[in-house]
Structure 1
């Protein structure tokens, strides 16, 4: 009994009421609801178990000129607590309010330098709307289950269409001006040499290193590897002029390529050889297709341009066709040697690559069978590629302003 009286004393010390007037000051939510329903509303109620141990404090003052039920309903509603009546009993429970649906708008943009796929992949991580290149408004039902803004992009289109809120569109307008810029490019200059070497010369790369070491600052290979030379100073034409004075170096090709960042470029020196393809039988008629396959020196380079360095993925192939001795005799056999490597260069560095070699052994005899002479000869041909990579100067290129002629911003609330 003493405990009950003490509890009532503490409770009423924090509140005062007279008739329809009630004032609460820092009273816990469950206790406040109990007091309101017992002294003011005076109707039966049920409190959701989630609110029984709610520690939030209630502070308000209710005056006689205010509708008590409307006031309590509004106050608890601000705390995400709802009151509804069923068969004369008030049920009090928490609820999660629905976020208001923000109006959506359509924004279109015509890329000037980058692809629609490139822009949508990057921009999709910053907005919650959807992309589409058709220009049609995307309904809310079509957005259900979407895991990203780029789900609705036609990657082959030439116009970027976005459907979202004004806030998202403002973000896109800010970002797109810095993203839709000209891609970095490099100019790849090269020479392809055939190097005739003997056993005393070693590989073509070592022979080139001997010739160039007196004139240039070079480093051969790394960690015991000797299939490339890196030259950080000098002109590629100066090195070419020095190597061509040696009769063992023969120029096969002198390509000049301009390549975009992360794109691939290739060149080949050789021929296209016809080989037998598939056989088609139609109405007792047999048709043999013929395909042309490249052989010779094939070269592919893919640059990855960074602010201070350039990573090059280089693939070399030396191939030739020989007469087929097993299998399909009417079609030649392709013999190829492949080398794939990745190197990191500074702007203007020169690199010499080797690793592809072909060796031919020949034997000859002269005179009578017993008194004649026999000779054997071993010829080795190295394929050596010399490359210089330079960045294309983009310092004069300026991104377009945000006011693009291809932009369209319109309300789609219908």
Structure 2
């Protein structure tokens, strides 16, 4: 018995050179490249070019064309179902594969009213869970640019009081599982501080040294160094009021402010004791008339703190400013001059821990003449005094228990 391959059998069956509508023939399990060659040479009679990736395509073609079918329409439709397209340029058919567009997902709406967190916080926290890998983004991607709003997926609200999400049913189910883990009550701390101005001289040393001397032998503490402040002291005493009573016994320590703030983790708390001073701003022109703007700047004692709360530590970013306005002696005489002392730092504390900070110092030198004016100058005396004012901050943080 002699075996004949399928391509050979097909070639024998379609040996005629003319195939019009009404042809009846079959192809059974023929590779893509062989089937295309047979169909275009023996049925369609057109020049063609086959893309290289299809030459190695291992898929098999099987179909039957009945006499009432249009051969070209039938063949191109069959190939199109296999993601193979036929394009004609200058009488030549180009046969290549293509990637079909992804089907539009079935999207549903989900509305959620937050319990503790803002909609903006939830959107920022959850947006990474629904990115391009899952087909959902907070903002429309390039592939979504031509879609209508109903076809886009993601968070539809940001600044409102209700979270609106549009996504697939699977993504909505995932969001429902994650939301209770994210929409939890934010951690809070109570910040208690005493801000002292310390008057010292060259013999007394710095305000920080005086504070350490007062604490020595009375409390257990440890020294450290931090960003912004030259050094600091940490204590584990249960009450900051005990330190307040201790510093009150020394006349060189005077309380400038005693802020008490309750701050949410990640937010900013600000304590301001002073005045808003008007300062001349820019000049604009309206109908050829000059209009002088006036800006108001805060001065006095400004204490700002921003906590970041974790299970074991409380990281504080602290900004302390003591300022006042003085008459301008040169430059823009119509505007006062801002004189300020300011420092920023970041420290880490445990719950209930107390820290003593220092670093805002100001030196003043004064000269004085003593004697009678009617006596010669050689009989008078001269004295020189160097004084320094230093700012010392005592601060305690406590977690607010829910």
TM-score range, shorter chain: 0.7 to 0.9
The question of whether the paired residues in 2 share the 8 Å contact of 1:209 and 1:220 is answered with no
In the alignment, the residues of structure 1 paired with residue 329 and residue 383 of structure 2 have an alpha-carbon distance, to the nearest angstrom, of 28
Alignment of 1:150-165 (within 5 A): 153=157, 155-165=158-168
1:246 alignment partner, SS class:
coil
Equivalent in the alignment of 1:373: 381
1:111 alignment partner, SS class:
coil
Deviations 1:79-99 (A, max 9, x none): 42357999xx99854333333
Inter-CA distance 167–161: structure 2 relative to 1 (3 Å threshold): same
Equivalent in the alignment of 1:105: 108
Equivalent in the alignment of 2:58: 57
Q: Would you say 1:230 and 2:238 are equivalent positions?
A: no
Where do 5+ consecutive residues of structure 2 fail to align? Answer: 14-24, 140-144
Deviations 1:39-75 (A, max 9, x none): xx8554665421575323345888999x998998887
Inter-CA distance 194–95: structure 2 relative to 1 (3 Å threshold): closer
1:140 alignment partner, SS class:
coil
1:173 alignment partner, SS class:
helix
Deviation of the 1:280 alpha carbon: 8.2
1:114 alignment partner, SS class:
coil
In the alignment, the residues of structure 1 paired with residue 203 and residue 163 of structure 2 have an alpha-carbon distance, to the nearest angstrom, of 63
In the alignment, the residues of structure 2 paired with residue 324 and residue 96 of structure 1 have an alpha-carbon distance, to the nearest angstrom, of 73
2:51 alignment partner, SS class:
helix
| Greater relative contact order (Cα < 8 A, sep 6+) | 1
2:401 alignment partner, SS class:
coil
Equivalent in the alignment of 2:397: 389
Inter-CA distance 74–209: structure 2 relative to 1 (3 Å threshold): same
Q: Would you say 1:314 and 2:318 are equivalent positions?
A: yes
Q: Would you say 1:200 and 2:203 are equivalent positions?
A: yes
Equivalent in the alignment of 2:331: 327
**TM-score normalised to the size of structure 2?**
0.73
Equivalent in the alignment of 1:174: 177
**TM-score normalised to the size of structure 1?**
0.71
The question of whether the paired residues in 1 share the 8 Å contact of 2:195 and 2:255 is answered with yes
Inter-CA distance 209–359: structure 2 relative to 1 (3 Å threshold): same
Deviation of the 1:199 alpha carbon: 1.0
Deviation of the 1:30 alpha carbon: 1.5
- How many residues matched? 372
1:170 alignment partner, SS class:
helix
Inter-CA distance 360–37: structure 2 relative to 1 (3 Å threshold): closer
In the alignment, the residues of structure 2 paired with residue 375 and residue 381 of structure 1 have an alpha-carbon distance, to the nearest angstrom, of 20
Inter-CA distance 376–15: structure 2 relative to 1 (3 Å threshold): same
Deviation of the 1:342 alpha carbon: 1.8
- What is the root-mean-square deviation in Å for CA atoms of aligned residues? 4.5
